[in-house]
Amino acid sequence: MSRIELDSVTKRFPDGTTAVRALDLRVGDGELLVLVGPSGCGKTTALRMIAGLEAVTSGTISIDGVVVNDVEPRHRDIAMVFQSYALYPHLSVYENMAFSLRYRGARKSEIQARVAEAARILELEPYLRRKPRELSGGQRQRVAMGRAIVRQPRAFLMDEPLSNLDAKLRVQMRAEIAQLQRSLGTTTVYVTHDQTEAMTLGTRVAVLSGGVLQQVAPPTELYRRPANLFVAGFIGSPPMNLIDARLERGDGGPLVVFGPHRLRVPPSVLAGHSGLDRYLGEPVVVGIRPEHLADAALAGAPPAGPAGGPAPGGPAAGESVIELPISLREELGSEVHLHATIGAAAHAGAAGDGDDVRSLATIVARADPRSRIAEGTIARLVVDAAELHFFDPATGASIRDG
């Protein structure tokens, strides 16, 4: 069992591409850390550096406190599960799993015992004599896992191990991997571009973008307190609605103003975001998760003022109602997604994009399926203002404490 530490690890390829930039990461003993991010963000590169397949340009990688920068892959005692599985096509399932042990000089009886054990755990016993091409995708995936398990390595590295499976199998294998990892207790770094997979699997999740680490946190923390616009937009499905707005002084406290809409920021939010003070009269990016927008008719909210501002009578604390035209209603059975056009600009992208093209935004509400809001009508939506997120439009950083 072991710890993996990355200290300010940078990878620059000879062609000048910087795939990973000053990455700091700690993977605790027995932990399953998920590395997630969009395509090309450097996940694979990071993993390959941990494996020793790729040299680091600067910084250090250590396993159990020992710097392994100059240690060859075979001496790092780690196992890797590749996206393509990389099973040896000319060897049987048994031989594939036994392969590494044989070259590490394990005794024959030992090899047999370990392969048998792995095959039992992964339910591969009926297939040991088969060649990889005679297996289904899921079975191949399990062989790849088995090849890693028999090694009893210090750590598992997995690069999108489920991406070649169909959706249903992926969910099933995801659960199996989680279970297996927990029962073996082997330190694991798991790479995926699928945020759902990341959230369901990881003890902690590290979000990477453009080779830069954005945030490392447990899944709920990541969801509830995204550190910046990128994480806010990346984690969650449908993604958080991000709107360019202004923070203005109102009668009963600060107001979020975008287009014709105004939302009151309840005192509880102000208390938790003391940094907001400095943004009064300034632009901010406000984030609203789709599930924090509800059909007002079902929520039992009082009628709103004509401009959608706070009702004079004072609504229930932390709630506000906005009126929006609905452009699309998607039925998902357990919920409906309502797409609404707002008379304001959507935030064009994560910080530093420099993209000034702003379009009128669509925001998505995740409503109760009993909602009768139809396409083409104006709907009244309740915003759970207690769950608003605020970001600095210039830096993209979350606005929390002053």
Partner 1 sequence: MIAAARSRSSRLAARRRRAGILLSLPAVALVVALLGVPIGQAVYYSMTIWNGITATWVGPSAYASTFTDPIFWRVLENNALLLLAVPFAIGIPLVIAALLNEHVRGWRFFRSVYFLPTAISWVVIGMFALRFFSATGVLNQVLAHFGLGPSATDMLAGETSALAALAITFVWSMIGTNTMIFLTGMATLDPTLIEAARVDGLSRWQIFFRVQLPLLTRFVQFAFVITVISAFSALFSLIFVMTGGGPGFGTTTLEFFVYQTGFQQVQFGTGALYGIILFVIMALVGLVQLRLIRPSDGEGW
Partner 2 sequence: MAAHPGRRPLGPRLRRHVWAWALFAIMIVIAVVMLYPFWYMADNAFRSPGQFDRQSGHSLAGWSELFANLPVASQMLNSTLVCAAAIAIILVVSTSSGFAFAKLRFRGSGTVFLLVVSALMVPLQSIIIPEYVNLAKLGLTNSYAGAVLVYAALGTPFATFLMATYYRGISDELIEAAIIDGLGYERTFLRIALPLSLPAIATVTVLQFIQIWDDLLVGLLFLPPGQRTITAGLATLSAGRTTSIPALMAGSLISAVPAIVVYLIFQRHLVKGLTLGMGR
Taking the least distance from each CB to partner 1, the nearer of 70 and 331 is 70
CA distance 324 to 264: 17
Closer by beta carbon to partner 2, 155 or else 321 = 155
User: Shortest approach of ligand ATP to residue 212 CB, angstroms?
Assistant: 12
Pairing of strands 261-264, 253-258: antiparallel
Query: What's the closest the beta carbon of residue 30 comes to partner 1, in angstroms?
Result: 26
Binding to partner 2, residues 121-160 (CB under 8 A): 147
Q: Applying CB under 8 A, which of residues 62, 82, 171, 250 lies at the interface with partner 2?
A: 82
In a 13 Å sphere around the CA of 333, the CA atoms on its Cβ side amount to 0
Beta carbon nearer to partner 1, 69 or 83: 69
Q: Which does 45 bind (CB under 5 to 8 A by kind): partner 1, partner 2, ligand ATP, none?
A: ligand ATP
User: Minimum Å distance from CB 41 to ligand ATP?
Assistant: 4
43 counts as binding ligand ATP under rule CB under 6 A: yes
Nearest C-alpha neighbor of 255 from the set 269, 242, 237, 238: 269
Candidate ranges 15-23, 79-87, 204-212, 387-395; the one touching partner 2 (CB under 8 A):
79-87
Q: In the bound complex, what is the minimum distance in angstroms from residue 42's beta carbon to partner 1?
A: 18
The Cα–Cα gap between 298 and 276 comes to 31
Backbone angles phi, psi at 363, to 5 degrees: -115, 155
CA distance 20 to 229: 20
Contacts of 138 (CB under 8 A, 6+ apart): 165, 169, 172, 173
Query: Taking contact as CB under 6 A, which single stretch among the options 32-40, 93-101, 135-143, 284-292 is the one that binds ligand ATP?
Result: 32-40
Sole binder of partner 2 in the list 32, 34, 50, 51 (CB under 8 A): 51
* Minimum distance from residue 82 beta carbon to ligand ATP (Å): 11
Nearer to Mg ion, 46 or 122 (CB): 46
Which residues of the chain form contacts with partner 1 (CB under 8 A)?
A: 52-60, 67, 69-73
Asked if residue 108 binds partner 2 (CB under 8 A), the reply is no
The CA-based dihedral angle spanning residues 236, 238, 244, 248, taken in that order and rounded to the nearest 10 degrees: -70
For ligand ATP, the binding residue among 9, 23, 27, 41 (CB under 6 A) is: 41
Complex with Mg ion: residue 57 or 83, whichever CB lies closer: 83
* Residue 104 interacting with partner 2 (CB under 8 A): yes
Pairing of strands 336-345, 204-209: unpaired
Stretch that binds partner 2, among 26-34, 83-91, 109-117, 294-302 (CB under 8 A): 83-91
What is the C-alpha to C-alpha distance for residues 217 and 382, in angstroms, rounded to an integer?
30
Instruction: Tell me whether residue 43 or residue 174 sits nearer to ligand ATP (CB atom).
Output: 43
Give the binding range for partner 2 (CB under 8 A) out of 72-80, 204-212, 241-249, 259-267: 72-80
Of 15 and 251, nearer to partner 1 (C-beta) is: 15
Residue 84 binding target from ligand ATP, partner 2, partner 1, none, CB below 5 to 8 Å by type: partner 2
Given the complex with partner 1, which of 70 and 251 has the nearer CB atom? Answer: 70
Would you give the binding string for partner 2 spanning residues 335-374, x where CB under 8 A is met? Answer: ----------------------------------------
Which of the residues 33 through 62 are near Mg ion (CB under 5 A)? 44
Closest Cα partner for 228 from 36, 347, 399? 399
Residue 89 near partner 2 by CB under 8 A: yes
Angle at 106 between CA 101 and CA 111, to 5 degrees: 65
Contacts of 190 (CB under 8 A, 6+ apart): 32, 33, 34, 35, 156, 158, 161, 177, 201, 202
Would you tell me which residues interact with partner 2 (CB under 8 A)? Answer: 51, 53, 73-74, 78-80, 82-84, 86-90, 99-100, 103-104, 147
Would you tell me which residues interact with ligand ATP (CB under 6 A)? Answer: 13, 15, 17, 19, 37, 39-45, 193
